[in-house]
Amino acid sequence: MTDRHLLIQSAAGDQRAFQALYLRYGKRLFAYFLPRVGANREQAEDLKQQVFLQLLESKAFREAGQGPEDLSSLLFTIAANLLKNTYRSEERRQRRELAYREIRSADGPSAAPRVEARRVALAMERLPDHQRTCVELRFCKGLSNEDIATALGCAPGTVKSRLHYGLKKLAEILKASTID
């Protein structure tokens, strides 16, 4: 049976047809992701699942009768895009954490730790509440973006945005301040 036939049946609600697609491509997608995520099996499995979730949300699924006979190009395009987004997200996270560490040591190693801690605390007070809360939960309490989103009742993307702009503003405040 072709991928298109399985997709048409899946779109009509046939779970066995969707399972057949999953079995047909699941191992190949997992094998694609595994070396690209540093052999992290859990992350490779999560990404594989996301490919199929995105397939369910795709135009190809909604208009299954007009879709391609072979889904491999579509599925691996989705996979490549998910991987790019994963890399970008990790890079952004690392940049945010580096920015925070730089902020914490803005005066260099010769600064007295208490003075620097006070300076950062005063700068944090000048952040808008929503940004300050996200920065404190992420960097002082060590919560993940997802945990912060759950705690605050907002989307993870909102948390990322608040962290980005909060750290940017914090850096500007510390750069401009002469608090002793």
- Domain limits, the chain: 3-88, 105-176
- Structure tokens, 143: 């919560």
Q: What is the pLDDT along the chain (180 residues), one digit of tens a residue?
A: 888 889 899 888 899 999 999 999 999 999 999 999 888 899 899 999 999 999 988 888 888 888 778 888 999 999 999 999 888 888 877 877 777 777 666 545 554 556 667 778 888 888 999 999 998 898 888 888 889 999 999 998 899 999 989 888 888 888 887 544
pLDDT of residue 90: 81
Q: How far is CA 49 from the centre of its chain?
A: 15
C-alpha 60/C-alpha 68 separation (Å) is 8
Q: Are 69 and 2 in contact (CB under 8 A)?
A: yes
pLDDT of residue 106: 56
Structure letter (DSSP) for residue 109: T
Pick the CATH number of 3-88 from 3.30.70.3270, 3.40.50.970, 1.10.1740.10, 1.10.357.10: 1.10.1740.10
pLDDT of residue 180: 44
C-alpha 38/C-alpha 112 separation (Å) is 39
pLDDT of residue 179: 45
Structure letter (DSSP) for residue 36: G
Q: How far is CA 33 from the centre of its chain?
A: 16
C-alpha 170/C-alpha 120 separation (Å) is 8
Residue (of 163, 172, 114, 160) closest to 140 by Cα position: 163
- Structure tokens, 58: 């795709």
What is this structure's pTM? 0.53
pLDDT of residue 152: 92
C-alpha 124/C-alpha 24 separation (Å) is 52
Pick the CATH number of 105-176 from 2.40.160.20, 1.10.10.10, 1.20.1630.10, 1.20.1180.10: 1.10.10.10
Helix or strand (DSSP H, E) at 162: helix 156-176
- Structure tokens, 163: 């962290």
Neighbours of 116 (CB within 10 A): 17
